[in-house]
Every structure is written in C-alpha cells, then in structure tokens.
Amino acid sequence: MIHAGGAAAKLQAAGGVRSLAFDASTPLQLSSGEALAPLAVAFETYGALNPDRTNAVLVCHSLTGDQFVASPNPITGRPAWWPRIVGPGRPIDTNRFFVICSNVLGGSMGTTGPGTIAPDGLPHSLRLPAITMADAVRAQAMLVEALGIENLFCVIGPGMGGMQALQWASAYPKRVFSCVTVAAAAKQSAQNIALAELGRQAIMADPDWRNGAYLQHGVRPTRGGSVARTSAQLAGLSAQDVRSRFESARTQERFAFNAEGANDTMRQQQGAGFVDRFDANSYLYLSRAMDGFDLGADFGGRLSNAFQGGATRHGVFSFSSDWRYPPEEGREIARALAAAGAEASFLEITSAQGHDAYMGNEPAFEAALTGFIDASAAARGLALNGGGA
C-alpha cells in the first residue's frame, strides 16, 4: 500500500503492467459530477527520482498510445512509441530525469476504462461515465501524488497528450515547472471532430459492437475498429503522403471495391493489428473527450485566462505539414500564453511527415526540445549534460 499526500493506493503488477489501485474510499471526481471508484491507473517509469524529488517528468500519450513510452509493450510486443525523445541520452534523458507515463483514463492498457471489470463482475462497457481531459488529468494527479511527487519538472505530450499537458499547466500551475505541447491544440477543430465522428459511427455500425457489450458476447467490432483506426492514422500523414499512398493503392488494385477489404491496401496497412490491441469502446470515450476539449471555454472563452497567474515555462512545437493540428493552432496557444504573461516559446518545424512527425527522425525538433529542456533544467537547478545520443 502506498500512502502519500492523503492518497492511498495498492500497487499491482500482472503481465508486465503495473498499476495503482485506489479503492472506493478514494474516488475520482469527474467533471460530470459523478464519482468513479474503484479506480486503477496503470503506469511505467524510467530513471530514478532524485533526493529532492524535483526531476520528475510526466509524459502523456496520444489517443491510441500507452504507457510504454521508452520500452517495448509486454502485452502487444510493440516497440516503445517515443524512443527518439525518451531514453538514455535523449532529449528527455532517463539518466537524469524520473519519467512517468501512465495509461490514460478510459484507455485499454490497465487504467480504468470501458473494458475494465466493474464491481458486478461485468465490463463497464457503456456504463462507464463520460470522461473529459480534465478527468484524465485528475487521475494522473492522483497517481503522481501517490508516488510521493509534489511538483513535476515537466509535463509533455503530443496530440491528445498535448491537451493533457495544457490542462495540467492550467489546473495545477504551482505543480508544473515546465510544459511542452507537441502537435496539439487547446481546442479540438471541427475537422478533427468530423473525422472522429466517422470513426465512432463505423464502430457503432459494426454488428459485432452489440450496443457496446461485445466483450460479454466474446466478439469485437473489428471492421468498425479498423475503419476508425484508418481514419485517425490517415489524418496523421501529410497531404502529400496520403495522395502518394492512394495513387500506389489505385495502381495495384484497379478499382477493387471489395467490402471485405481483401485488396484494400491502405486500410490493411493502417488498421491491421489495431483492433486486437485497442478496445473499441475506449476509442469512443477518448475521441469524445478530445472533441469536448476547449480549454478557453472553461475561462470565459479567453484561452489566455486559463494561464493567468501561472509561473510555468512553456514550449510549443508544431510541424509545417501537420493538417491534424496545423501550426496556426500552436501559434494560438503561444499567443494566449504571451497574453497571460507566461514565459513561452513557439517553434514551427519544417517537415514532410505530417502530424506523425513527432515520432519520426526530426533533428531540428529534437535539438530544439533538448534546448528547451536543458534551459528549464538550469532554471530549476537540475544537472545539465542531457540530450544528444
């Protein structure tokens, strides 16, 4: 049992997944007014916490990610999802930082979500209350507090992870020394909402969805889940890459309109494997939480009000070919931070890799991120010599 700062949780480990299990006496208060208990938050850590407990970095993952940011996933066998950024000698150097990455609330890798077994012995499925990005951050805060960490040196995340990072800086300004937002926005765009709705409709139209109760029936909505994944991943490519792949598929298939998708190269490439590792109902809950994210709306419609009075240092990064979260949305965050008097920097990285550039080989991004982390570490009084392979 871990006790720290009023939180009490039992550490559990199974199949390579560690989680903190909070019992009914420590419910998670949701934005809807409901309370969620019991709650489990699965997480992974890298590096060591220093004696002053001032070197903790929280990494928030994107929509379909997980907690295995710098090591292979023991369940799926997939490699680490951000190895160029988190690890020994990387911009988030695990030789000097204690890195925490948790599976998001509503996810499907150990944290309480729709696939989790409820107290009645059945999966929550659609009985799980609606969740928000603020709820996800409150669950992370419970984890961080239970680990005995009062203040985070940095919160960083791409996409949906960037939304969580901004929420952290707004909700806990005295507990976040620095915040890095990568290829994200402070408000979900209409285009993203439309794409997510198509994915949700595809899942719910799958006859195996069974009104969300597919686990009880021993099936999964694999076709709908594959379409949802394809929609999300195509949005992660650059426009040029999408056209190139389409042209390649068209050349190979010559109008093979096959409902079974046997010759649908693009869909096979993008959706294969996803439906086996990611719960379809988690996609419904998390994509809906992203669609509802509008940080400024909670502060009278002015985003700058979300950061008033905070002392967090901000680094905002965008990629030129990202049409999911284009650079203009990063500039909007930076303008709001400047208006709030926050110490902030914004950098648009020229890249042809679209939204997914944050996971690719982007030396300019890695160098700039290293510079931001090193400068923040110096301001925090932490040891330098990080970054660079």
State how beta strands 7-14 and 17-22 pair. Answer: antiparallel
Distance of CA 274 to the CA centre of its chain: 16
CA-nearest of 223, 50, 290 to 152 is 50
Average pLDDT over residues 56-81: 96
Q: Residues 371, 277: one domain? A: no
State how beta strands 17-22 and 39-46 pair. Answer: antiparallel
Q: Residues 200, 172: one domain? A: no
Percent of the chain with pLDDT over 90: 83
Q: Residues 172, 198: one domain? A: no
Q: Is the pLDDT of residue 4 over 50?
A: no
User: Taking all residues of the chain, what is their mean pLDDT, rounded to a whole number?
Assistant: 91
Question: Is 343 domain-assigned?
Answer: yes
Q: CB-based burial of residue 288 (10 Å sphere; 0-12 exposed, 13-18 middle, 19+ buried)?
A: middle
Question: Is 387 domain-assigned?
Answer: no
Count of beta carbons in the 10 Å neighbourhood of residue 241? 16
In this predicted model, what pLDDT tens digit does every residue of 356-375 receive, in sequence order? Answer: 999 999 999 999 999 999 99
Percent of the chain with pLDDT over 70: 91
In this predicted model, what pLDDT tens digit does every residue of 188-227 receive, in sequence order? Answer: 999 999 999 999 999 999 999 999 999 999 999 999 999 9
User: For the domain that residue 31 is a member of, what is the CATH number?
Assistant: 3.40.50.1820
The position carrying tokens 């059945």 is 122
User: For the domain that residue 208 is a member of, what is the CATH number?
Assistant: 1.10.1740.110
The residue among 238, 270, 289 that closes a domain is: 289
Q: What are residue 154's DSSP bridge partners?
A: 57, 178
What residue numbers bound the domain in which 344 lies?
Answer: 9-188+298-380
Average pLDDT over residues 278-287: 96
Q: Residues 161, 100: one domain? A: yes
Considering the candidates 264, 279, 322, 356, report the single residue annotated as catalytic: 322
Q: Residues 231, 98: one domain? A: no
Domain count, the chain: 2
Check if 356 is active-site.
no
Question: Is 388 domain-assigned?
Answer: no
Find all residues with CB under 8 Å of 19, minimum gap 6, and list them.
11, 12, 13, 40, 41, 42, 43, 110, 111
pTM of the model: 0.92
Q: Residues 107, 238: one domain? A: no
